[in-house]
Amino acid sequence: MRKHLPKDYFSHLWRAIIEFDMLAPGDRVLIGLSGGKDSVFLTYALSLIRQHLPFSIDLAAYTLDPMFTPDFDLSPLADFCSRLDIPFSTEQFNIAGIIEKNHGNDPCFSCAFFRRGAVNNFAVKHGFNKVALAHHHDDAVETFFMGLLYSGQLRTFLPVTHLDRTKLTVIRPLIYFREKKLVGTSRLHGFTPIPSPCPFNGKTKRQEIKEMIRDLQKNNKAVYTHLAAAMRADAAMELWPPEPGRAEMKQKFVSFWNKKDR
């Protein structure tokens, strides 16, 4: 395999790694490898980054089989990792069965929850201190917009997240890549991404948000740029204070009506 990345791809990776202090000497990093275009590229990119770091790190890849199909062939992923000199591990977890039993719950939330749990548990069990996930810039912006529309919160996932319970650190080295830049990256590493076995693929709230942003940009090309800018902590300028609780509001009423002319 001829290992190569264009200069601008390296630039995006280095900016994320250095700006957010993602890697340090002696790190043992477990890559969450689903087989999709994003995680495959992340695995390939980190194998190259490893060669140019001023210090040593260990890399390994982990794939969870959610058992959506009986014939989820992981041998191509194992071969891909072997060619990159990255140890590969896999486990099965019946997420499909859990979703089937819980019709009323959000299947995407359940799937993400158990996937995170599986990769984190594997990482802790095998002595990794960091988990690398393949979320890109569009994922962050879409999560931010979803939070605003569906929960009234201004929040998204962070480039680096420290997990207190497991003592793991989750890093997202692709955070400065737009999704359109990742489409077609198979030409760089030669691996054809594995189609998602998820029965809800393309029918999720995230897909709705993706299409909504695309539609909004038809009338205002700056919509995406403005959403991305709003994710930064210094973007909040004039927001209402937190909503007071019942007891605090009661005290405010009492204080107000006790204000009498002297």
The model's pLDDT over 141-159, given as tens digits with 9 standing for 90+, comes to 999 999 999 889 889 999 9
User: Residues 99-144: pLDDT tens digits?
Assistant: 666 655 566 666 777 788 889 999 999 999 999 999 999 999 999 9
**pLDDT (mean) for 158-178:** 97
In CATH, the architecture of 7-235 is 3-Layer(aba) Sandwich (3.40)
pLDDT for the residue 206: 83
The confidence score (pLDDT) of residue 108 equals 66
More confident position, 127 or 261? 127
Angstrom distance (rounded) from CA 22 to CA 109: 26
Instruction: Report, as an integer, the average pLDDT of 222-227.
Output: 95
Quote the percentage of the chain above a pLDDT of 70: 90
Find the mean pLDDT for residues 86-91. 96
Please give the average per-residue pLDDT across 79-84, as a whole number. Answer: 97
Q: Pick the closest to residue 9 from 192, 143, 194, 17 (CA basis).
A: 17
Alpha carbon distance 48, 44 (integer Å): 7
Q: What is the CA angle 121-193-159, rounded to 5?
A: 50
pLDDT, position 93: 76
